[in-house]
Structure 1
Amino acid sequence: MGVNYSTRHCFAFISIFLLLAGVTTLIVWLVYRPSKPSFHVIGAAIYDVNTTSSYVVSTTMQFTLVAHNPNKRSAAYIDRLSAYISYREEVITAPAPLPPMFLEREGTVIMSPMLGGEPVPVSPNVPGGLVTDEAYGVVALRVVLLGRLRWKAGAFRSGHYGMFAKCDVLIGLKKGHVGEVPILGSPDCSVDV
């Protein structure tokens, strides 16, 4: 009978402890409620678009992106960050590793990664599509950022979450142009965490 009584007390103690831990976690989450960072493309430069082969594309591009942390109470760390460019759902630059990023509370970071430079195998419709779009003067590209995100609020640190940001950008590009190109529209990025 004594064993059964102590077992019930132990079970009650553990249940109350877990309930209090859950309530505390919920309160901390409600107070700090981290939201995902936002990204915007504010500049673009094209240095090379080589479409001479039917199955390989070589490009060198630079996009200027603004990362913003909208949280008032928690900072954001993004590590294992990499970026690449895709055209018509196909990757046209190799993923480029980027340095880790720290976003203060309500902080902003500007980055301008240089992407490409190496030949990338593609399907036969990509080089032809790029040539056609260049002749028309408008090229639709997607800048993709991948990384691991975690939040820090005071002494609390979250676990790591996978982050995927995609920025659909329309650029004005004519064949033979090198350097900065106009961005058509206001490209905000969608971010999944």
Structure 2
Amino acid sequence: MAEHHLPPERADHHHHHKGGRKGVHADDLKPGSRGRPRYSYYYGGGGGHGAAVRALCFAVLVLLLAAGITLLVLYVVYRPSHPTFAVTSAAVLALYNATASNAAGAGAAPTALAASFQFTLVLGNPSGRCAARYDRLAAYVAYRGEAVTAPTPMPPLAQDAGTTVEAAPVLGAGVAGPPVPVSPDTAAALATDVANAVLPLRVVLLGRVRFVNGPFHRGWHSLYARCDLLLGVRKIGNGGAGGVPQAPILGDPNCNVDM
């Protein structure tokens, strides 16, 4: 019988051509096959830049926190305390009703008082690190909420840390100056209290204060100091000749300082 032979398979189905060209298979055309090109992306320096920014922000935060703690410690250590105020002695130089001296014609004369006192005022600086400077000081005496002396200017005062400073101003001009007008009720109450030998008064000190610590100077603060006290008196003076110069302070004065 005659033999039938199948034609030989082409060599390029399974073998490389001479030029190194590879044949294309069906698997190579499937999605996700090995032959699919792969792409990779690389962002150079991205992670390192973010870490540097975070490190810088952390360093700034630490510095701000340290500065805040330092300022807080300095504030607590060098914070000045309010000055203290006290009245340690008193003298009544003149105190009388001056209404008659103001009479003019037949009309009713306004009620007025002629008063003059001398008080020893003590300012204390409890701060152990800051000196105090006082300026624009003025003092006056009030009775039942009304001033019975005109404000008396006082010279500036300098005070070291942790010390006290004294001043003994004469408040009110007495007969040497114009009388101070008061209400009729105040004049009557004053006469009654003097007759009872106990006179309640308020000594007021106004001005401004600043604190100094070496080269550091704080701003000026308004000062309002006052002492409520009771004076022991026996009679109203008549311009100083028959008055009661010394007046003991009864009990402990109630003194306060506002800034």
TM-score range, shorter chain: 0.7 to 0.9
Question: How far did 1:22 drift?
Answer: 6.0
Q: Do 1:39 and 1:188's aligned partners in 2 also have CA atoms closer than 8 Å?
A: no
When the two structures are superposed, what TM-score results if normalisation uses the length of structure 2?
A: 0.65
Listed one character per residue, the Cα deviations across residues 6-51 of structure 1 (whole Å, up to 9, x for unaligned) are xxxxxx9xx9899887665433221111001111111000011121
State the partner residue of 2:149.
Answer: 93
Residues 115-126 of structure 1: pairs in structure 2 closer than 5 A: 115-117=171-173, 118=177, 119-126=179-186
TM-score scaled to structure 1, two decimals? Answer: 0.86
Q: Partner amino acid for 1:37?
A: P
Q: Does the CA contact (< 8 Å) of 1:148 and 1:162 recur in 2?
A: yes
Of structures 1 and 2, the one scoring higher in RCO (CA 8 A, sep 6+) is 1
Among 68, 72, 80, the alignment partner of 1:26 is 72
Counterpart of 1:103 in structure 2 is 159
- For the 8 Å contact 1:92–1:120, the answer to whether it is kept is yes
Shift of 1:65: 1.5
Larger radius of gyration: 2
Matched, 1:51 2:51: no
Equivalent position SS for 2:210? strand
Unmatched runs of 5 consecutive residues or more in structure 2: 1-56, 100-109, 238-242
How far does residue 188 in structure 1 lie from its aligned partner after superposition?
A: 4.3
User: Would the alpha carbon gap of residues 18 and 90 (structure 1) be closer, same or farther in structure 2, given more than 3 Å must change?
Assistant: farther
Secondary structure at the residue paired with 1:70? coil
Distance 2:84 2:254 in 1: 8
The 5-angstrom pairing of residues 38-77 of structure 1 reads 38-53=84-99, 55-77=111-133
Q: Secondary structure at the match of 1:126?
A: helix
Q: 1:178 aligns with which of 244, 248, 255?
A: 244
Q: Cα deviations across residues 143-166 of structure 1 (Å, max 9, x unaligned)? A: 000011110112111101101001
1:61 corresponds to which letter in structure 2? F
Residues 23 and 122 (structure 1), Cα distance of their counterparts in 2 relative to 1, 3 Å cut: farther
What SS is found at the alignment partner of 1:185?
A: strand
RMSD: 2.0
% identical aligned pairs:
47
* Paired position in structure 1 for 2:196: 136
Aligned length: 180
Instruction: Give unmatched runs, 5+ long, in structure 1.
Output: 1-11
